[in-house]
Chain A
Amino acid sequence: DQQVKQNSPSLSVQEGRISILNCDYTNSMFDYFLWYKKYPAEGPTFLISISSIKDKNEDGRFTVFLNKSAKHLSLHIVPSQPGDSAVYFCAASSTQGGSEKLVFGKGTKLTVNP
Chain B
Amino acid sequence: DGGITQSPKYLFRKEGQNVTLSCEQNLNHDAMYWYRQDPGQGLRLIYYSQIVNDFQKGDIAEGYSVSREKKESFPLTVTSAQKNPTAFYLCASSTQREDSLNYGYTFGSGTRLTVV
Contacts and interface: CB of A to CB of B under 8 A. Distances in A.
Contact of A93 (B92, B97, B109): B97
A106 B97 contact: no
Nearest to B102: A49
**Is chain A's interface secondary structure helix, strand, loop, or mixed overall?**
loop
A105 B40 CA distance: 11
Interface size class of A (residues with CB under 8 A): 20 to 34
Contacts of A95: 97-98
A89 interface: yes
Contact of B96 (A9, A34, A42, A100): A100
A105 B42 contact: yes
Interface size class of B (residues with CB under 8 A): 20 to 34
A45 interface: yes
Contact of B104 (A9, A43, A49, A106): A49
A91 B92 CA distance: 14
A42 B40 contact: no
Interface string A16-44: 00000000000000001010100001111
Interface string B31-59: 10101000011110100101000000000
A61 B62 CA distance: 41
A43 B96 contact: no
Interface string B5-24: 01000000000000000000
Give the top 5 A-B pairs by smallest Cβ distance, nearest first. A43-B107, A106-B42, A100-B97, A104-B43, A43-B109
